[in-house]
Amino acid sequence: MSSVQLQNRLMRISAREIAFALKLLGSDDQAIALRALPEPMVARIREEMDLAKRRRLAGRDHLVYVRQVLASLVREEAPRGIGSYVRPVRRPPRRGR
Protein backbone atom coordinates (compact mmCIF):
# COMPACT_ATOMS: atom_id res chain seq x y z
CA MET A 1 0.00 0.00 0.00
CA SER A 2 1.38 3.39 -0.92
CA SER A 3 1.67 6.20 1.60
CA VAL A 4 -1.10 8.08 -0.22
CA GLN A 5 -3.46 5.09 0.02
CA LEU A 6 -2.60 4.69 3.71
CA GLN A 7 -3.28 8.35 4.39
CA ASN A 8 -6.58 8.25 2.47
CA ARG A 9 -7.79 5.21 4.36
CA LEU A 10 -6.79 6.62 7.74
CA MET A 11 -8.46 9.96 6.95
CA ARG A 12 -11.80 8.16 6.52
CA ILE A 13 -11.66 6.94 10.12
CA SER A 14 -12.68 9.18 12.99
CA ALA A 15 -9.98 10.57 15.26
CA ARG A 16 -11.61 8.85 18.25
CA GLU A 17 -11.50 5.43 16.59
CA ILE A 18 -7.83 5.85 15.70
CA ALA A 19 -7.02 7.19 19.17
CA PHE A 20 -8.55 4.23 20.97
CA ALA A 21 -6.84 1.79 18.64
CA LEU A 22 -3.44 3.51 19.00
CA LYS A 23 -3.79 3.67 22.77
CA LEU A 24 -2.82 0.01 22.90
CA LEU A 25 0.45 0.59 21.01
CA GLY A 26 3.79 1.79 22.31
CA SER A 27 4.91 5.34 21.59
CA ASP A 28 7.27 4.28 18.79
CA ASP A 29 4.50 2.38 16.99
CA GLN A 30 2.10 5.28 17.53
CA ALA A 31 4.61 7.63 15.92
CA ILE A 32 4.88 5.37 12.85
CA ALA A 33 1.10 5.32 12.43
CA LEU A 34 0.73 9.07 12.96
CA ARG A 35 3.52 9.91 10.54
CA ALA A 36 1.20 9.05 7.63
CA LEU A 37 -1.34 11.71 8.63
CA PRO A 38 -1.45 15.49 8.24
CA GLU A 39 -0.73 17.56 11.35
CA PRO A 40 -4.34 18.75 11.99
CA MET A 41 -5.55 15.14 12.08
CA VAL A 42 -2.65 14.13 14.34
CA ALA A 43 -3.58 16.97 16.71
CA ARG A 44 -7.19 15.73 16.87
CA ILE A 45 -6.02 12.16 17.50
CA ARG A 46 -3.66 13.29 20.29
CA GLU A 47 -6.51 15.28 21.84
CA GLU A 48 -8.73 12.19 21.76
CA MET A 49 -5.90 10.11 23.26
CA ASP A 50 -5.67 12.58 26.15
CA LEU A 51 -9.42 12.34 26.68
CA ALA A 52 -9.22 8.54 26.49
CA LYS A 53 -6.86 8.48 29.48
CA ARG A 54 -9.75 9.63 31.67
CA ARG A 55 -12.21 7.12 30.27
CA ARG A 56 -12.56 3.57 31.47
CA LEU A 57 -13.16 1.32 28.50
CA ALA A 58 -13.66 -2.42 28.63
CA GLY A 59 -11.10 -4.59 26.82
CA ARG A 60 -13.71 -5.89 24.41
CA ASP A 61 -14.57 -2.30 23.44
CA HIS A 62 -10.89 -1.57 22.72
CA LEU A 63 -10.95 -4.61 20.47
CA VAL A 64 -13.89 -3.13 18.53
CA TYR A 65 -11.85 0.00 17.79
CA VAL A 66 -8.79 -2.01 16.75
CA ARG A 67 -10.90 -4.16 14.43
CA GLN A 68 -12.50 -1.06 12.91
CA VAL A 69 -9.15 0.52 12.12
CA LEU A 70 -7.74 -2.73 10.73
CA ALA A 71 -10.83 -3.25 8.56
CA SER A 72 -10.46 0.29 7.22
CA LEU A 73 -6.84 -0.34 6.30
CA VAL A 74 -7.57 -3.63 4.56
CA ARG A 75 -10.62 -2.54 2.55
CA GLU A 76 -10.77 -0.03 -0.24
CA GLU A 77 -14.05 1.43 1.06
CA ALA A 78 -14.45 2.50 4.67
CA PRO A 79 -16.60 0.30 6.89
CA ARG A 80 -19.51 1.85 8.72
CA GLY A 81 -18.36 4.04 11.62
CA ILE A 82 -18.66 2.91 15.20
CA GLY A 83 -20.10 6.19 16.40
CA SER A 84 -18.83 8.69 18.89
CA TYR A 85 -20.47 7.41 22.06
CA VAL A 86 -18.12 5.59 24.40
CA ARG A 87 -19.80 3.45 27.03
CA PRO A 88 -17.76 3.73 30.24
CA VAL A 89 -17.04 0.75 32.44
CA ARG A 90 -18.78 0.97 35.78
CA ARG A 91 -16.67 0.51 38.86
CA PRO A 92 -17.96 -1.95 41.45
CA PRO A 93 -19.44 -0.21 44.50
CA ARG A 94 -17.06 0.46 47.37
CA ARG A 95 -17.46 -1.61 50.48
CA GLY A 96 -18.36 0.17 53.65
CA ARG A 97 -20.52 2.81 52.02
Domain extent listing, the chain: 3-74
Round to whole Å and give the CA distance between 41 and 15. Answer: 7
Q: What is the pTM of this model?
A: 0.68
- For the stretch 67-87, pLDDT in tens is 877 787 777 665 565 555 556
Please say whether the beta carbons of 65 and 14 come within 8 A. no
Residue 32 burial by Cβ neighbours in a 10 Å radius (0-12, 13-18, 19+): exposed
Averaged confidence pLDDT in the chain: 77
